[in-house]
Amino acid sequence: MFLSHVLQLDIMEKVANRRRLVVWVIMMINLSLFLSACSDGTPARKLLKHTDSSNTHVRLQLSDSLVVIDNELVEVTIQNPTGHLIGLKYKEMQNVLESRNHNHNKGYWDIVWDEDAYDKLETEHVDVITQTDDLVELSFTKKWNHGKTLPLNIQKRFIVRRGIPGVYMYGVFDREEDFPGAQMYQIRIAFKLKEDKFRFVAVSDMIQRIMPRSEDRDEHRSKTLDFKEAVVLTNPSNPSLKGEVDDKYQYSTENKDNKLHGWISDDDGVGFWIITPSNEFRTGGPHKQDLTSHVGPTALSMFVSTHYTGTEIDTFYKQGEAWKKVFGPVLIYLNSAPSNDDHRNILWNDAKRQLSDEIESWPYNFTGSEDFPHSEQRGQVNGQLLVQDRYMVRPLMQAKSAFVGLAAHGDAGSWQTEGKGYQFWTQTDNIGHFSIKNVRPGNYSFYAWVPGFIGDYKLDLNIIIHPGNKIELGTLIYDPPRNGPTLWEIGVPDRSAAEFFIPEPYPQFMNSITKDDTDKFRQYGLWDRYSDIYREGDLVYTVGTSNYSRDWFFAHVPRKTGNNTNRPTTWQIKYNLQDVNENGTYTLQLALAAASFAEVQVRFNDPNAVRPYFTTKRIGNDNAVARHGIHGLLPIKDRLHRMGVPTYGLCVNCNLYQETRDHLFFNCSMALNLKGKVLTTILKISWNAFIYYLWHERNQRIFRGRFRAVDAILKDVIDTVGIRLRDKAINKLDIINFNLCNA
Q: Which residues bind ligand NAG (CB under 6 A)?
A: 361, 365, 409, 443, 462, 464, 481, 547, 549-550, 561-563, 565, 583, 658, 660, 665, 667, 706
CB of 238 to ligand NAG, least distance (A): 37
CB of 689 to ligand NAG, least distance (A): 17
Among residues 156, 111, 107, the alpha carbon closest in space to that of 334 is found at 107
CB of 516 to ligand NAG, least distance (A): 17
**Please, which residue, 109 or 665, has the CB nearer to ligand NAG?**
665
**Please, which residue, 35 or 464, has the CB nearer to ligand NAG?**
464
Distance CA 161, CA 377 (A): 23
Among residues 639, 569, 629, the alpha carbon closest in space to that of 596 is found at 629
**Please, which residue, 294 or 663, has the CB nearer to ligand NAG?**
663
Residue 317 neighbours by CB under 8 Å, 6+ apart? 175, 179, 181, 182, 183, 184, 323, 420
Distance CA 664, CA 210 (A): 42
CB of 547 to ligand NAG, least distance (A): 4
CB of 408 to ligand NAG, least distance (A): 9
Rounded to whole angstroms, the maximal C-alpha distance in the chain is 90
**Please, which residue, 101 or 369, has the CB nearer to ligand NAG?**
369
Hey, which bits of 355-441 come out as E strands? 379-387, 397-398, 403-407, 424-427, 433-439
**Please, which residue, 361 or 512, has the CB nearer to ligand NAG?**
361
- Compute the residue count for the chain: 743
**Please, which residue, 580 or 730, has the CB nearer to ligand NAG?**
580
**Please, which residue, 562 or 646, has the CB nearer to ligand NAG?**
562
Query: What count of other Cβ atoms lies within 10 Å of the Cβ of residue 59?
Result: 15
C-alpha 327, offset from chain centre? 18
CB of 379 to ligand NAG, least distance (A): 13
CB 177 within 8 A of CB 157: no
Helix (H/G/I), strand (E/B), else coil: 52: coil
In the complex, residue closest to ligand NAG by CB: 361
CB of 94 to ligand NAG, least distance (A): 32
Q: Is 609 exposed, middle or buried (0-12, 13-18, 19+ CB in 10 A)?
A: middle
Angle at 258 between CA 164 and CA 409, to 5 degrees: 110
**Please, which residue, 281 or 444, has the CB nearer to ligand NAG?**
444
CB 433 within 8 A of CB 345: no
Asked if residue 612 has a cis previous peptide bond (ω within 30° of 0), the answer is no
**Please, which residue, 13 or 697, has the CB nearer to ligand NAG?**
697
Backbone angles phi, psi at 218, to 5 degrees: -65, 160
CB 480 within 8 A of CB 486: no
CB of 425 to ligand NAG, least distance (A): 20
**Please, which residue, 373 or 481, has the CB nearer to ligand NAG?**
481
CB of 658 to ligand NAG, least distance (A): 5
Helix (H/G/I), strand (E/B), else coil: 732: helix
CB of 581 to ligand NAG, least distance (A): 6
Distance CA 620, CA 555 (A): 15
In sign, the C-alpha dihedral spanning 468, 471, 472, 477 is negative
**Please, which residue, 240 or 563, has the CB nearer to ligand NAG?**
563
Distance CA 462, CA 450 (A): 21
Distance CA 730, CA 408 (A): 30
CB of 224 to ligand NAG, least distance (A): 22
CB of 358 to ligand NAG, least distance (A): 9
**Please, which residue, 348 or 478, has the CB nearer to ligand NAG?**
478
DSSP code string of 449-501: E-TTS-S-EE-SS-EEE-TT-EEEEEEEEE-----S-EEEEES-TTT--TTSB
